[in-house]
Amino acid sequence: MSNGKQPLEGLTVRIWDPPSKTESEKTADENLLKGNRGFRQYTEQVGSDKLKYTTHDWDTDTKKAHSTELKQSTRDWDAEKKKKESVQELPLLSRSDPRTDTQSLRDVKLQYELWDHIMKQVKEIKDLDNAKEWEPTVNLLRKLREGVYASNWSRGDYAFAIKVFEHSVNFSIKAHNYEELAKSLFGLINELYVINKGAENPYYVVLNILYYCCYLQNPTKALTLAVNLNGTTNEGRFGKQLVKSVFISGNSLMYFRLYHNNPYSTFKILMDNYNDAMRIKAIDILRKAYLSASIGWIGKWLGITNNSNMVISEIERLVKPTCIKSIDHDRQLIYFLKKRK
């Protein structure tokens, strides 16, 4: 400085250096006593653009002082601020503090903005059958659902709230994310459709039944929901027949006919969770009814057509130890082992 006086010292930061490899091999008492090989100390000099930099080394008992220029941060603060302000980067309300967050998804305008972003993201999905590609969208919809709920259904915009929850149901199924599916279905069926009965969509009502029937495999809940189902719609008839085939008749022929002939991929994804259980039931019935049966006929019971090898491999996979006594490939017959009572 021009007056010749030493600059005032400000904030000091001390960084302790861990023991070196050779030092770590010293006695435990020495390591315990020292714990490190020294430290580096940086001290701000008020009125100067330099830092006082001092190193201390215990072993050599030396102290070296340096002076170094303050360096401009290479961190892109503008980019980080912009990222933080972008709606898709806003935190989950369940993991944020409303007292400190200047922006949150309680703001309905931000909810609309996030919805637009989600719809653009969906258009960019390349493989619609790839569950992993749906996961980022499901995560964003979780944020949006929390905001919609926390803002009292988007300040009474029930049409928007229902749209958000319905899409969340669909996308959670496509992502095979059953935790988010459960939360989405509950908000939609047990809350939003109760508030606005006229908005009830039979497609989502049946998806709820499929969730209890095929994923949770809860007969009490599924049968209760099926009783109250409107059977005048295609979806309603499907739901009633499905529950009947699973929990009343155990009819795999009806079950797999419903599986293959329904128009919704989401129905099939949920039913996939019950296919093995239904096939095991079918094999059990076939073993009781036949000593032998054609592979084609067995395939119908298992929901597998025109693939003899798959019929055989599925029986072997599902029944341990094997229930197959022998296979006549020329006549396309499977001989079953007699089932023990």
Q: pLDDT of 7-64, one tens digit each?
A: 556 677 777 776 655 544 544 444 444 455 677 777 777 666 677 777 776 656 555 5
Q: Is residue 192 part of a domain?
A: yes
Quick one: tokens of 286?
Answer: 């076939």
Q: Is 101 found in the same domain as 27? A: no
CA–CA dist 203, 222 (Å, integer): 15
Q: Is residue 154 part of a domain?
A: yes
Q: Is 81 found in the same domain as 38? A: no
Q: Is residue 184 part of a domain?
A: yes
Q: Is 50 found in the same domain as 162? A: no
Q: Choose between 292 and 12: higher pLDDT.
A: 292
Q: Is 156 found in the same domain as 127? A: yes
Q: Is 195 found in the same domain as 82? A: yes
Q: Is 164 found in the same domain as 149? A: yes
Q: Per-residue pLDDT tens for 236-288? A: 999 999 999 999 999 999 999 999 999 899 999 999 999 999 999 999 999 99
Q: Is residue 242 part of a domain?
A: no
Mean pLDDT (whole number) for 216-235 = 95
For residue 1, is pLDDT > 50? no
Average pLDDT of every residue of the chain = 86
**Among 200, 223, 255, residue at a domain's last position:** 200
Give how many domains the chain has, as a whole number: 2
**Among 160, 181, 200, residue at a domain's last position:** 200
Q: Is residue 228 part of a domain?
A: no
Q: Is residue 225 part of a domain?
A: no
SS3 content of the chain, % helix, strand, coil (to 5): 60, 15, 30
CA–CA dist 80, 86 (Å, integer): 10
Q: Per-residue pLDDT tens for 70-82? A: 555 565 545 444 4
Say whether 123 sits in a helix, a strand or coil. helix
Mean pLDDT (whole number) for 302-316 = 96
The reported pLDDT for the residue numbered 44 is 75
Q: Is residue 132 part of a domain?
A: yes
Could you tell me the residue range of the domain that residue 194 belongs to? Answer: 76-200
Q: Is residue 207 part of a domain?
A: no
Q: Is 192 found in the same domain as 84? A: yes
Contact 25, 50 (CB under 8 A): no
Q: Is 142 found in the same domain as 49? A: no
Q: Is 182 found in the same domain as 109? A: yes
pTM over 0.85: no
Surface-to-core class of residue 254, CB atoms within 10 Å of its CB (0-12 exposed, 13-18 middle, 19+ buried):
middle
**Among 69, 96, 115, residue at a domain's last position:** 69
Q: Is 155 found in the same domain as 88? A: yes
Q: Is 119 found in the same domain as 47? A: no
Asked whether the bond before 321 is cis by omega within 30 degrees of 0, the reply is yes
Residue type at position 18: P
State how far Cα 140 lies from the chain centre: 11
